[in-house]
Amino acid sequence: MTDDLDALVTALPDGRVITDPDIVEAYRRDQTWAVAPGKPRCVVSARGTGEVAATMRWASEHGVPVVPRGGGTGLAGGAAAGDGCVILSLARMNQILELDPANELAVAEAGVLNADLDRAAAAHGLMYAPDPSSYEISTIGGNLATNAGGLRCVKYGVTRDAVLGLEVVLADGRILRTGRRTVKGVAGYDLTSLFVGSEGTLGVITSATLRLRPRPAKPPVTVAASFRSFGAAARAVTAILQARLQPSLLELIDRVTLRAIDDWKQLGFGDEVQALLIAQDDTDDAARRAQVMRDTCAEHGALLADLSTTEAESRQLLDIRRLAHPAVERLGATLVEDVCVPRSRLPDMVERIEQAAGRHGVVIATVAHAGDGNLHPVFVFDRGTAEADVPDNVWAAADEVFRAALDLGGTLTGEHGVGLIKRRWLAIELGDDSMAVHRAVKNALDPAGLLNPGKVL
């Protein structure tokens, strides 16, 4: 491969192209421990769509692969560098370009942090609903790339449900605008949905027109219920959903995760507690609905089921859930996974995860966006193992978990994406004809295969 990096430097403002090895090193990987990143030739820190387009025109001319990157919080290796690539960072494209309360929408650049957009909307009595656990550090562009979910998606939907339109730079540097600002619109193919969840393999999302929602008028009421088993808690989740209560949050934490949190923060979970269910209602009728959820938990064997009495208590209970990932990371190296099953099959999936852990002798810590049937089994192993050298028994357990999700009518990933981690299983879920269509779409938009090569397909 030959290229003229000087031409890229000339095409962009001073300081945009970074070749300092120490700085480039910081951009090589996302948060996927199980992936060994390659060595990029440089980083481009773009400040605007025109600079992204100039980078892609240069890359197309010289045949250089490009890996788009946001906040680097991904858990599937989607932003891991490849050898000889350009890392295209959109983190500095962090402006909220417009906030329109009358039409309940915002236009945000790809580098805007999820939580910053939500805070800006709050000043107008609105909210940006998608809220992945990394909401304080993950970017809108990264959320769009993986179709991220979060704690509130049980009621408000995932990122795709909040997107009205996109600005996308294609592989050859053309700038494409999809969608519209109206609530309705069916002119042409739904290109907006095509790019959401495409993990940077079809184009580089530079900004988005996003739907905002009215912020709940009153603080939510939160239910916390402890159980003697994860399975019992999962059955309580099924009962809550069957009661049509429509909680705004419904989260489940297993014993391994609770012990990790307790060892770290000394919250005082007793040995009898094997699972914790956290539910929330944000309607005007929250007190009654939360009480019904509390009673449902009690009917399904909860050891203890309490309601929050203040907004501060609700926040404290949610903080327990947000501590899950960092607490488990303290136990060792982790392979963080993300499967989703029909909500009625959640108890079955919980059982299959526990069986896989026992059969392969692997520690698996599981939390779940239980209202969506979306589970995050985290495989824990010796941190002394070399980076990306995942033990065979861990991969065997992961394989069993993935196949169990598919067997139960589910999917390999609910919100993290395929990235590098799950490519080997994708064809099992999609089938040959669907894979052929995927490749045809990829070839149509990126015929040279320069956009995030090796990811997804």
Q: What is the pLDDT of residue 34?
A: 87
* Domain extent listing, the chain: 5-89, 96-214, 216-329, 332-447
DSSP string over 269-291: --TT--EEEEEEE-STTHHHHHH
Q: Does domain 332-447 have CATH number 3.30.70.2740?
A: yes
Is 351's pLDDT higher than 80? yes
CA distance 445 to 307: 51
Q: Are 5-89 and 332-447 in the same CATH fold?
A: no
Q: Is residue 297 classed exposed, middle or buried when 0-12, 13-18 and 19+ CB atoms within 10 A define those classes? A: buried
CATH class of 96-214: alpha beta
Of the candidate CATH numbers 3.10.20.90, 3.30.70.2190, 3.10.580.10, 3.20.20.70, the domain formed by 216-329 belongs to 3.30.70.2190
- Percent of the chain at pLDDT exceeding 70: 99
Torsion of CA 180, 183, 187, 191, to 10 degrees: 60
Cβ 171 vs Cβ 441: under 8 Å: no
**Is the pLDDT reported for residue 385 higher than 70?**
no
pLDDT band for position 386 (50/70/90)? low
Determine contact, residues 187/442, Cβ cutoff 8 Å. no
* Range 168-186 average pLDDT: 96
Give the C-alpha separation, 257 to 237, whole Å: 18
R_g of the chain, CA atoms, integer Å: 22
* Rounded mean pLDDT, 387-397: 89
pLDDT band at 1 (very low <50, low <70, confident <90, very high): very low
Span 285-334, pLDDT tens digits: 999 999 999 999 999 999 999 999 898 999 888 889 989 999 999 999 99
pLDDT, one tens digit per residue, over 73-120 is: 999 999 999 999 999 999 999 999 999 999 999 999 999 999 999 999
Residue 2 has pLDDT above 50, yes or no: no
Closest C-alpha to 240, from 283, 291, 198: 291
Global pTM reads 0.94
Q: In the structure, what pLDDT confidence band is assigned to residue 387 with cuts at 50, 70 and 90?
A: low
- Rounded distance, CA 358 to CA 351, Å? 11
Q: Is CATH 3.30.420.40 the right assignment for the domain spanning 5-89?
A: no
Contacts of 363 (CB under 8 A, 6+ apart): 256, 331, 332, 357, 379, 380, 381
- The confidence band for 33, taking pLDDT boundaries of 50, 70 and 90, is confident
**What's the rounded Cα separation, in Å, for the pair 125 and 215?**
5
- Would residue 408 be called left, alpha or beta, if left means φ above 0 and alpha means ψ between -120 and 50 degrees? alpha
Q: Which residue's entry shows tokens 């990143």?
A: 37
Question: Going by C-beta distance under 8 Å and a sequence separation of 6 or more, which residues neighbour residue 354?
Answer: 230, 231, 364
Given a cut of 80, is residue 165 above it in pLDDT?
Answer: yes
At a CB cut-off of 8 Å and minimum separation 6, what does 140 contact?
A: 70, 108, 109, 110, 111, 112, 113, 114, 117, 208, 210
Given the DSSP bridges, would you call strands 221-227 and 304-307 parallel, antiparallel or unpaired? antiparallel
How confident is the prediction for the chain on average, in pLDDT? 95
- pLDDT for 414-432, tens place per residue? 999 999 999 999 999 999 9
